[in-house]
Structure 1
Amino acid sequence: MKRENRTFDELQVGDAAELKRVCTADDLFVFATASGNHNPAHLPGYDLNRDGHPDEVTAPAMWVGSLISAVLGNILPGAGTLYRAQTFEFLGRAKAGDDLVARVRLVEKRDDGTVVFASSVYRDEPEELLLRGEAVVSAPRTKFQYDEHDIPGLLVQRHRHFDALVARAEPLEPLATAVVAPEEANSLGGALLAARHTLITPILVGARDRIAAAATAIGESLDGIEIIDVADHGAAAHAAVDLVADGRAKAIMKGHLHTDELLRAVLRKDRGLRTGRRLTHIFVMDVPGVSHPLLVTDAAINILPDLATKVDIVQNAIELAISLGIEQPKVGVLSAVETVNAQIPSSVDAALLSKMAERGQITGGLVDGPLAMDNAIDIAAARTKGLVSPVAGRADVLVVPNLDAGNMVAKQLTYLSHAEGAGLVMGARVPIILTSRADSAKARLASCAVAAIHHARMAAKAEEMQHQ
C-alpha cells in the first residue's frame, strides 16, 4: 500500500485522520521486548490477584498512546513528521482483543512550522474514550511516498498451540506413566514438571541413587513418587513394559537411555506392546506464525520405510491428529517434486498412498502427494504450481520420504523457525513419550500433554465400542 504525506503548506485546520487497530497479545509481547517494560500486568498468563485464574491482559498505557504516533507518522501529516511534544490523559484501559480507533484532528498551525493536533483513542463498539491529549509536531516540508510493505515484519516466538494442548490435558485424569531411567536433570525434570501440571502420574524406573542425585541437582523433591530401583537400562525398559502389561501404567516415557533399548523391550514377543501396526514416531511441531500444530513423521524410528510401513506412518499420524482436535487431517506426502517421476521413488510412494486413501485403505484423513515442501504448506506456492487439492498449501501432517529427510525438516523448523517439537511414538498398545536431551521444558510438557489427550480419546473410543 502506497502512503503519501501532507506537507505543512497543504495542511488545513480541521483536517482529521484515524487508524483502526486490534490489540493482540502479540502486540504486548513486542512492546515488552522493545520497551523493556516486562510488567506482568501487561503480559498473558499471570495471576496477579492470585484467584487461580490468569488475569485479563491490560495493554500498557503507552502502547495505546503509541497509536497516536502511528496516525501522525503514517497518515496525517505522514512521512517526515517529527514529534515536539505530546500530552496524554488516560481515561480507561485497553485489553487484549479490543478493537481500537486512534484519531487526530488539526487544531492549530504555527509560523515556526509546527502544527497542533487534538488526539484521542477509543475502544470501538461500544465507543468508549480511553485516552485524550494534544500532539505538537513538526510537519514535513517536502512530498514523499513510500510502500508500507517495505518494512520488515516481526514474528513473535510464542508457542500458543502447546499452551492450548497443556490447558486441554490438565483437566484429564493424570496418565499413569512409567518413566524409564530418569537419571539426569532434563529427563527427570520433564517428568516432574508434567506431574505438577497433572498431566501424568510418574512411576520412576531406574537406578534409585542416580535418580535421587538428579533430583538434588535440580532442587526437586521425590516425596510421594514411586521409584522402582533397576540399575541396568535394558532391564529398566523391560520393567516399564511389565508395568503396562500388568495394567499399572498407561504410557511410557523415555528418560536417559538409548531409544533402541527402550523399543527392544516394547517389541518383545512375551507381554510386549505390539498391536500389528508398525511403531512410528510423530513430531507435533508448534511453529511460530503457523495457525495450527504441524505434524512431521517419521523422523526417529523408520530409516527407509517401504510402502507398507508408510501406510502405518500415515494412519498413525491421522489418528493422533484427530486426537488433537483436527477433525479431518490433511496429510501432505512429501517428495522433491509435485508430479510422479519414476526416477524419484518417494514421488511414486506418495502417489500410491494418495490413491490408497481414496480407496479406503487409509482412513480418517485427506491424503495427497507427491507434494514438495513449499506447496504442501504454502497456499500461494500451491496456486503458483496450479495444484488444485484440499491438501496442497493446507497440510496438517507432513509425511517425509525417510528418516534423513524427517530429521532435517524437524530440526530446520526447530532451529531456523524457532519451533518446539513434542515427540510421540504410535503403533504400540500405549503412547510412548519420546523426548531428546536437547528438548526444552515446554517440549517435554507438550509431549506429555499430547500423550494424555490421545490416551483419553482412545480410552473413550474403546469404552464406547464395549457398550455397542
Structure 2
Amino acid sequence: MDGKFDWLIAKAAAQPGPTLRVAVIHPVDASSLKGALDAAQAGIMTPILVGPIAKMSAAAELAGLDISGLVQIEAPYSHAAAARSVELIHEGNADALMKGALHTNEMMAEIVKRAGGLRTDRRMSHVFLLSTAGYHKPLLISDGALNIVPDLTSKRWITQNAIDAARAIDIDPPKVAILSATEEVDPIIPSTLDAAALCKMADRGQIKGGVVDGPLAFDLAVSPESVATKGLKSPVAGDADILIVPAIEAGNMLAKQLDYLAGASAAGIVLGASVPIILTSRADSAEERLASCAFASAVAHWQRDQP
C-alpha cells in the first residue's frame, strides 16, 4: 500500500456508531473476499457474504483466507445473489452493497428495478475518488462508469451526487468544474450548453452545496498556470475538487489515464440509490478496494446525519 488513502480509511474507521453492514454480492474469487476481509479487519465494515457458499469457501481456501467468522448467505448463482442482497437492504439487515465477482450490469439490473429495487427520486451515478501526486488534493470525477450519454436532468443529479460525496469526506463546499473542450459557451458543442445550464441551476438552488462553474476545459479546471495565462475569472478554475464529464467515455478515460500514466490511486462508489454501492474493478489494488469501502462508509454516515 502506498498510503494515498490513509486519511480516508482512518476517517471511516473512526466513524461513531456501528460499522456499516455490507452485503457483498457473489464474492467467489480471492480479490472480492480479500477486499471484504481487509475492510472488516480495518474496522470499516461488517461484511455479509451473499453467494454460493461452497464456491465462496473453495475460493477462500485456495487463497488462504479465513472467512469462517463472516456471515454467509446462500444464493446459488450471481443473479440470485444480487436479488438477495437487495432484499437484505429492504429487510433492514444491510446498509450498503459491494460488487463481487459478477458483471456490473447484472448487479445494477436488480438495483434499478422499479418494483423491489433501490431507486430514489435521484438518478444513480458513479463517482471516482482519485489521489495522485500530480494534484494537490483529492479529485472526484463523475460519471465515468454508469451513465453513458447523460441528458441535462441526469447531469443535474450526477453533479448533486458528486457534491454530496465530496461533503461526506470533508470537502465542503466543493468546487465543481463542468468539463467540456472549451471555456466558451458554444451552440455547436452541446456539452457547453449543458454546463451553462447546470451553473444556472446551481444559482437557483436546484443543485446545492457546491460552487459550480463551467464550461471549463480540463487544463483550466486543474491548472492555475493555465488560468493565469488565459486570464479567466472563476471561483473554481485551477482548484477544482470535482470534475463533471460530458459522457462516460470522457470520465472513464480520464480516470484511467490518471491511474495508469500519473500513478493515481482510485476508489469508486455509486450514489443516488437508497444506499451506497461499492463498485470495485478486478484491476483494483487491495488499497483501492479498501478505500472504496471507506468512501462508502463515510457517505453512508454523512447521509444518516442529513435532515
Tell me, yes or no, whether TM beats 0.5: yes
What percent identity do the matched residue pairs reach? Answer: 50
Q: 2:157 aligns with which of 312, 336, 348?
A: 312
RMSD of the TM alignment (CA)?
Answer: 1.2
Q: 1:442 Cα shift?
A: 0.7
- Aligned position for 1:64: none
Tell me what 1:342 maps to: 187
Query: Could you tell me whether the CA contact under 8 Å between 2:134 and 2:262 is conserved in 1?
Result: no
Q: Given the alignment of the two structures, is residue 459 of structure 1 paired with residue 290 of structure 2, yes or no?
A: no
Matches within 5 A, 1:286-365: 286-365=131-210
Rounded to whole Å, the distance in 2 between the matches of 1:330 and 1:215 is: 43
SS where residue 188 of structure 1 aligns? helix
Given that 2:26 and 2:52 are in contact with CA atoms closer than 8 Å, whether structure 1 keeps it comes out as: yes
* In 1, Cα distance between equivalents of 2:257 and 2:221: 16
* SS of residue in 2 equivalent to 1:398: strand
Deviation at 1:383, TM superposition (A): 1.5
1:381 is matched with 226
Q: Which residue of 1 aligns with 2:291?
A: 446
Q: 2:143 is matched by which residue type in structure 1?
A: D
| Structure 2 partner of 1:181 | 26
Q: Does the CA-based 8 Å contact 1:158-1:288 persist in structure 2? A: no
**Count of matched residue pairs:** 305
Number of the residue aligned with 2:85: 240
Equivalent residue for 2:7? 164
Larger RCO, structures 1/2 (Cα 8 Å, 6+ apart): 2
> 5+ residue gaps in structure 2?
none
**Aligned AA (2:160):** Q
> CA–CA distance in 2 between the matches of 1:423 and 1:307?
23
CA offsets per residue over residues 189-220 of structure 1, 9 Å max, x none? Answer: 11111111011100000111211122112211
For residue 210 of structure 1, give the secondary structure of its aligned residue in structure 2.
helix
Deviation at 1:254, TM superposition (A): 0.3
Q: Which residue does 1:214 correspond to in 2?
A: 59
> Which structure features the higher share of strand residues?
1
Q: 1:188 to 1:195 in 2, by over 3 A?
A: same
- Give the corresponding residue for 1:405: 250
CA distance in 2, matches of 1:408, 1:346: 17
Question: Which amino acid in structure 2 is aligned with residue 374 of structure 1?
Answer: D
Task: Read off the aligned partner of 1:385 and give its amino acid letter.
Answer: K
Deviations 1:252-291 (A, max 9, x none): 0000001111111111223321111011000011112422
Over residues 299-342 of structure 1, what are the superposed CA-to-partner deviations in whole Å (9 max), with x where a residue is unaligned? 01100000000000000000010001011010001001111111
CA contact (8 A) 2:38 2:290 kept: yes
The reply to whether residue 426 of structure 1 matches residue 283 of structure 2 is no
Query: Which of residues 259, 263, 266 is equivalent to 2:108?
Result: 263
- SS of the residue aligned with 2:305? helix
Query: Which residues of structure 1 form unaligned runs of 5+?
Result: 1-156
Indicate if the aligned counterparts of 2:278 and 2:296 stay in contact, CA closer than 8 A.
yes
Q: Distance in 2 between matches of 1:366 and 1:401?
A: 18
Paired with 1:177 and 1:228, the residues of 2 have a C-alpha distance of 12
1:423 and 1:371 mapped to 2: Cα distance? 23
How far apart, CA to CA, are the structure 2 residues paired with 1:217 and 1:380?
A: 52
Contact 2:177 2:213 survives alignment (8 Å):
yes
Cα offset, 1:158, TM superposition: 4.6
Q: Is the 8 A contact 1:187 1:255 kept in 2?
A: yes
The one of 114, 127, 131 aligned to 1:282 = 127
Contact 2:142 2:243 (8 Å CA) reproduced: yes
- Name the aligned partner's letter for residue 7 of structure 2: A
The DSSP-based 3-state class of the residue aligned with 1:239 is: helix
Counterpart contact for 1:183–1:210, Cα < 8 Å: yes
Q: CA deviation at 1:159?
A: 4.2
Structure 1 Cα separation of the partners of residues 67 and 154 of structure 2: 41
Aligned equivalent of 1:9: none
Q: Secondary structure at the match of 1:374?
A: helix
> What code does the residue aligned with 1:301 have?
L
Write 1 or 2 for the structure with the bigger share of helix: 2
- Corresponding residue for residue 154 of structure 1: none
- Normalising by structure 2, we get a TM-score of 0.97
- How far apart, CA to CA, are the structure 1 residues paired with 2:64 and 2:232? 55
Rg larger for? 1
Return the alpha-carbon distance in structure 2 between the equivalents of residues 374 and 158 of structure 1. Answer: 27
